[in-house]
Amino acid sequence: MSISRRDFMSLIGSSVAGAAALTVGSRYIHSSGAQSTDAANLKAWRISAVDPVEQGAVPVVLENTASGETLRVDICRQGSRLSPVAQSKRFDLFLANGGNGDSPTRREHTLVVRSLARRLDAEGAQVPNTVLSMDARLAEHPELFDTSDDIVNA
């Protein structure tokens, strides 16, 4: 099943905050003080753009309306041997931050990407035919990344 960019955008909506309540719970946050702070921080994040499938991934730009910070998340088909920042039932979500995979991801960034993954699950987002797993994406477009992420033996 192939869906358009517009259909994909309608599935995830324009706000990650809608999924924040699902993510910001005891599974990820262990103290009530951290939970309320993280929940407030997550509510500032919005989806500012969902671009057409590019080199096998759906690029999504998240923006923090309080700070102006932006994140690009590449949404790929699930099944990569690399470690995504977050996973949904059908997708692997990778931060496209120009890093080589060996720098730790900030906690807030991890939580907001997990929120997006949970939003995809809650909305039942389907994988467009042109979306590849990260492994297939790198095989088809080796110029994309020179990553030092460890690949697990299959």
pLDDT tens sequence for the chain (154 residues)? 444 555 555 555 544 444 333 333 323 333 344 444 555 567 889 889 888 899 999 999 999 999 999 999 999 999 988 889 999 999 999 998 766 566 788 889 999 999 999 888 888 878 888 999 999 999 998 887 554 444 444 4
- In this prediction, residue 100 carries a pLDDT of 59
Q: Which residue has the tokens 């080589």?
A: 100
- Other CB atoms within a 10 A radius of the CB of residue 25 amount to 11
- Segments of 54-138 assigned E as strands: 58-64, 70-77, 86-87, 91-95
Q: Using CA atoms, how far apart are residues 152 and 135, in angstroms rounded to an integer?
A: 12
User: Which two structure tokens, joined as six digits, stand for 104?
Assistant: 């730790």
- The confidence score (pLDDT) of residue 142 equals 84
pLDDT for position 128: 83
- pLDDT score for 9: 54
Which pLDDT does position 146 carry in this prediction? 56
Of the candidates 98, 119, 5, the residue with the CA atom closest to the CA atom of residue 59: 5
- What pLDDT, on a 0 to 100 scale, did the predictor assign at position 8? 57
pLDDT of residue 43: 83
pLDDT of 153 reads: 44
Classify 101 in phi/psi space as left (phi over 0), alpha (psi -120 to 50) or beta: left
Other C-beta atoms lying within 10 Å of the C-beta of residue 151 = 12
- Verdict on whether the full-model pTM lies above 0.75: no
